[in-house]
Structure 1
Amino acid sequence: MSAPLPSDPATDPSFPDMLETRPSLKMDARDGLLFEGVPLHVIAAAVGTPCWITGAETLRRRAKALRAAFEARNLPMNMHFAMKSQDHQATLIILRQCGYGVDIVSGGEMQRALHAGIQPSGIVFSGVGKSDAELRAAVEHDIAQVNVESVEELYRLDEIARACGRVARAALRVNPDVDADTHDKISTGRAGDKFGIEHRRAVALYGEAASLKNVRLVGLAVHLGSQMLTAGPFREGYLRLADMVREIRAAGHSVEAVDCGGGLGIRYRDEIAPSPDMLAGVIAETLGDLDVRLSIEPGRWLSAPTGLLLTRVIETKAGNPDFVVLDAAMNDLARPSLYESWHGIMPVAPSGLTSPTKLWDIVGPVCESSDIFARDRALPADTKRGDLTALLDTGAYGSVMSSTYNSRPFAVQVLIDNGKWEIIRQRQSVEDLIAAETVPKWLTAKDDHG
């Protein structure tokens, strides 16, 4: 399960601990906290805060490490980045250059992927509620595979493909009824979760689909959940999938591909994060002898450690508890309020590493009681207005989940690459928000006529 929002000062990692487990971060005695070698205070002075920062080399390093784990086992693997975790064009282009395709969950993500130069043959379409227009676009672009989530969607896809004069490639997304042992809100493979086709029904449906003229089933897909930290749920889910492959083949049908989904977790707090070798080993053990084309859909494992949210202290507030109020809020980073998630929070100033600390509640300025990043979290005791802080591991489900609640515009985004940095999304203004709105003429007419 995800760590609860309240911190435990006795077990929370110290600032040196957080630095030791995050090779992209360093504390310089003069320049303070560096991310991929760039002083964060320099970026803050130039573009302001809050500011999302992405490290290109961190992303490349992780992409290569994940691929290497499967190559070490001589296990060919198609990689499709789960772009719902981070959909910026820069991220997609970097991963395309690393040989990755994408797993999409909307027509908008399809357009983003194509714009980033990702070929349709590298796109897999998942998601429980694909519209007719989205399915039509998938068929017309001839993407690699549609992961069908229901009986109804399968037959709807067949009708749409027939109208387009095409044959769509598809896989049945199976709900294997496996508990991923993760947070309730990011578990997707249990009975009762909205995703996938109940595994006993899927075997029969695979045979029924053989009669469809405009859908060609190529295999099965599964996604058990997110932030999974142990091998057990992966093994259980993949063994169930392997049994289904054998049963379907015994009935005389072809199974060419198995999409293993994503879910590999990372270390946010004190978790023992699994290595890619664990996932490669489980897939080799359970599915490696099936003679199928294998694919995975990593998201968080790739993107979370590549990002941080740079913020500035608006105010400190004495009381019981004492508060640090940041200029970032739940509209910027929703995960703590949505999932009760734990993110490392570090001071940027060089003195922050050795200064005496005290416990603070760290909050944002949004007018909601849930706008809390951390309770009872250690920061320097002398934290004051204007100090910079960094919220760590926000590259997944950070900027992509932002909103403009309280008329707070989207924050600026910056990419660091080989010691250089550049703005990759300008800070939105309130004028931009207002300019996107229209007012019916009859309302303004009343002003004109009294």
Structure 2
Amino acid sequence: MDHFTYIKGQLHAEDVPVSAIADAVGTPFYVYSTATLTRHFKLFDEALSWGPHLVCFAMKSNSNQAILKLLADLGAGMDVVSGGEYARARAAGVPGDRIVFSGVGKTADEMRMALTGGIRQFNVESEPEMQRLSAVAQGLGMQAPITIRVNPDVDAKTHEKIATGKSENKFGIPISRAREVYAQAARLPGIKVIGIDVHIGSQLTELEPFELAYAKVAELTRHLRADGHEITRLDLGGGLGIPYARTNEAPPLPTDYGALIQRTVGDLGCEIEIEPGRLISGNAGLLVSEVIYVKQGEDRQFLILDAAMNDLIRPSMYGAYHDIVPVREAAPGTPTTPYDIVGPVCESGDTFAKSREMVPLTEGDLVAFRSAGAYGAVMASEYNTRPLIPEVLVHGDQFAVIRQRPSFDEIINRDTIPAWLVDTPVPAEQE
């Protein structure tokens, strides 16, 4: 469910006409719904109300400060995967004891930043990382609280680029070696073991892979406790998917997911952490774009938009589907026509959809990409020197720009010309 609906023939974000935002900030832009973000977070929080828990937003899905502040005020923790994300979370007012640090390549500087700034735990991914973290913590006269991420070799049945729990993936340690690695952790002076971490992938649309992975985690918990380790916390990752296409079967609900967690690990007496990202922010956002041209090709029509692959990379990178709808609602029964929907970037890969049935559109019409609140703005770039586009947050009948569009001068002035080139004349054109 989201809060983007047609009212009197115009698409609204909560109570604000999308066209009014376009008039104010220009296109393209992202717009997010406070009501949708709030509802989705609360669904997860309530699904785990049967026991002690923390819902940590996977901020790699959307790291805008306003979104982080909104979720933190609701009680969310944050799952970060870089020093930059850690700094963003702290800047948004998230206390260190609600931040978990994931990722396979944490540097010593990042470890130091989190230890001195406050951290709930590190989700350790390898033995070399664990040894380095111990050394950094010991150098600060501290102990680093850790879970160790285990790879359960479970097929998440998702896109190969976002599957993380199979044996060939780079994440975690093989679960078959977990007891050996936990024994090593117990001997390291800068490490304090507190739990187990697992995450098998993103955009999962079935519960079975979760059940298989969590059953293995439950068994491991019992073995580790028998080995003398204090396991008080289980970080079960995220990955629950959202429906991107109207024809897709609806993924499981957070309530079903919470019941599965209770059934598989609820009897262990552990505090539960989960790290949803996409299901909280995905359907809470739209990408809004304007039609520049309608171009007739040899055997097809192209709808050329002012948004491009640098603004929303998912279709080009993953072959991802986004529902694309007109901002002005068509009359019932209006016949559709197939378009290839593309952007202006100089790449054939700058294609959002092929042969997509749409009501007839013309220059100046606005369209909205649904389910664009996750892995949209955060993965954007300035390819072709196209400015990063504004982000807007709506709250009832109010809206605010939460990231401005930079000017060309602001982009260009980030470059520096070295001194030896400053006075070098540009050659005149050869006649």
TM-score range, shorter chain: over 0.9
Counterparts of 1:79 and 1:351, CA distance in 2: 40
Match of 1:109 in 2: 85
Kindly indicate whether the alpha-carbon contact (under 8 Å) linking 2:193 and 2:229 is maintained by their aligned counterparts in 1: no
Counterparts of 1:256 and 1:353, CA distance in 2: 57
% identity of equivalent residues: 44
Residue 161 to residue 350, structure 1, CA distance change in 2 (3 Å): same
Structure 1 stretches of 4+ moved >3 Å: none
Match of 1:43 in 2: 21
Kindly indicate whether the alpha-carbon contact (under 8 Å) linking 1:177 and 1:190 is maintained by their aligned counterparts in 2: yes
Residue 401 to residue 119, structure 1, CA distance change in 2 (3 Å): same
Task: Report the CA distance between 1:349 and its aligned residue.
Answer: 1.2
Q: Does 1:292 align with 2:275?
A: no
Match of 1:200 in 2: 176
Task: Report the CA distance between 1:142 and its aligned residue.
Answer: 3.0
Match of 1:345 in 2: 324
Name the amino acid aligned to 1:402. A
Match of 1:131 in 2: 107
Which runs of no fewer than 5 residues in structure 1 stay unpaired? 1-21
- Name the SS of the counterpart of 1:294 in structure 2: strand
Task: Report the CA distance between 1:352 and its aligned residue.
Answer: 6.0
Kindly indicate whether the alpha-carbon contact (under 8 Å) linking 1:142 and 1:168 is maintained by their aligned counterparts in 2: no
- Name the SS of the counterpart of 2:145 in structure 1: strand
Deviation digits for residues 249-274 of structure 1 (CA, Å, limit 9, x no counterpart): 11222211110000011111123221
Task: Report the CA distance between 1:23 and its aligned residue.
Answer: 4.0
Match of 2:296 in 1: 318
Task: Report the CA distance between 1:294 and its aligned residue.
Answer: 1.0
- Name the SS of the counterpart of 2:147 in structure 1: strand
Deviation digits for residues 197-230 of structure 1 (CA, Å, limit 9, x no counterpart): 1111122111221111111011110111001111
Q: Does 1:225 align with 2:201?
A: yes
Match of 1:361 in 2: 340
Task: Report the CA distance between 1:348 and its aligned residue.
Answer: 0.8
With 213-222 and 350-359 compared, the bigger mean Cα shift is at: 350-359
Counterparts of 1:378 and 1:29, CA distance in 2: 23
Aligned residues: 425
Task: Report the CA distance between 1:449 and its aligned residue.
Answer: 11
- Name the SS of the counterpart of 2:240 in structure 1: coil
- Name the SS of the counterpart of 1:113 in structure 2: helix
Match of 1:8 in 2: none
Residue 282 to residue 346, structure 1, CA distance change in 2 (3 Å): same
Q: Does 1:371 align with 2:350?
A: yes
Name the amino acid aligned to 1:180. A
Kindly indicate whether the alpha-carbon contact (under 8 Å) linking 1:89 and 1:116 is maintained by their aligned counterparts in 2: yes
- Name the SS of the counterpart of 1:66 in structure 2: helix
- Name the SS of the counterpart of 2:330 in structure 1: helix
TM-score, with length taken from structure 2: 0.96
Q: Does 1:397 align with 2:378?
A: no
Match of 1:14 in 2: none
Kindly indicate whether the alpha-carbon contact (under 8 Å) linking 1:26 and 1:37 is maintained by their aligned counterparts in 2: no
Mapping of 1:257-268 within 5 angstroms? 257-268=233-244
Q: Does 1:55 align with 2:33?
A: yes
- Name the SS of the counterpart of 1:155 in structure 2: helix
Name the amino acid aligned to 2:170. K
Counterparts of 2:427 and 2:167, CA distance in 1: 61
Q: Does 1:170 align with 2:146?
A: yes
Task: Report the CA distance between 1:353 and its aligned residue.
Answer: 5.7
Q: Does 1:250 align with 2:226?
A: yes
Match of 2:126 in 1: 150
Deviation digits for residues 97-154 of structure 1 (CA, Å, limit 9, x no counterpart): 1100100000000110001110000000000001110011122123010000001100
Counterparts of 2:12 and 2:160, CA distance in 1: 35
1:91 to 67, 75, 96: 67
Kindly indicate whether the alpha-carbon contact (under 8 Å) linking 1:310 and 1:388 is maintained by their aligned counterparts in 2: yes
Counterparts of 1:196 and 1:157, CA distance in 2: 15
Counterparts of 2:202 and 2:289, CA distance in 1: 27
Counterparts of 1:224 and 1:446, CA distance in 2: 55
Name the amino acid aligned to 1:342. Y
Match of 2:251 in 1: 273
Task: Report the CA distance between 1:285 and its aligned residue.
Answer: 0.9
Task: Report the CA distance between 1:448 and its aligned residue.
Answer: 8.8
Task: Report the CA distance between 1:175 and its aligned residue.
Answer: 0.8
Counterparts of 1:413 and 1:75, CA distance in 2: 36
Which runs of no fewer than 5 residues in structure 2 stay unpaired? none
